[in-house]
Structure 1
Amino acid sequence: MNQIIIYTQNDCPPCTFIKNYLKDKGIAFTEKNISHTQYRNEMIDYDAFATPFILLNDEPMYQIDMDKLNDTLNIK
C-alpha cells in the first residue's frame, strides 16, 4: 500500500488542488498543515520550503509531478 503525506498550508491553491484530486480518485493520504510547528519543522528537515510538499512512499516530491503520482498510484 502506498503512503502519501502532504504538507500543506492555509490558502494554498495547489494544496487544495492535489488534495481534491486524490480524494476524487479515492486515494488515502495524510495531511500535515504547517501552521503546526512540528509539521513545519518536519518539512524543513527535508529542505522543503514550499507547499504542497509530498512524501510519496518516503520519497520527497518538491513540486507536484502528476505523471509520477499517477504512475506510482496506478491512476488512469
Structure 2
Amino acid sequence: MTQVTIYTQNDCPPCQFVKNYLDEHNIAYTEKNIANSEYRNEMIDYDAFSTPFILIDQEPMYQVDLDKINQLLHIDHA
C-alpha cells in the first residue's frame, strides 16, 4: 500500500487543494499540520520549508506537481 503524508498548515489554499484532490480520487493520506512543532521539525529534516510538503512512499515533493502525483499514485485521467 502506498504511503502518502502531507505536511500542511492552517489557511493554506494549496494544502487544501491537494487534500481535496486526493479525497476525490479516494487516496488515503496522513495529514501532519506543522502547527505541531514535532511535525514542523520532521518537515525541516527533509529540507522542506513550505507547505504543502508531500511524501509519497518516502519520495519528497517540494511543490504541487499533479503529473508526478498522478504517476506515483497511478491516477488515470483517461
Pairwise same-fold verdict (TM > 0.5): yes
Is 1:36 aligned to residue 36 of structure 2? yes
1:7 counterpart residue number: 7
Counterpart CA distance in 1 for 2:12 and 2:50 is 10
Is 1:16 aligned to residue 28 of structure 2? no
Q: Which consecutive aligned stretches of 4+ in structure 1 deviate over 6 angstroms post-superposition? A: none
Aligned residue pairs total: 76
Letter in 1 for 2:29: F
TM-score by length of 2: 0.95
2:55 counterpart residue number: 55
Gaps of 5+ in 2: none
Calculate percent identity across the aligned residue pairs.
67
Gaps of 5+ in 1: none
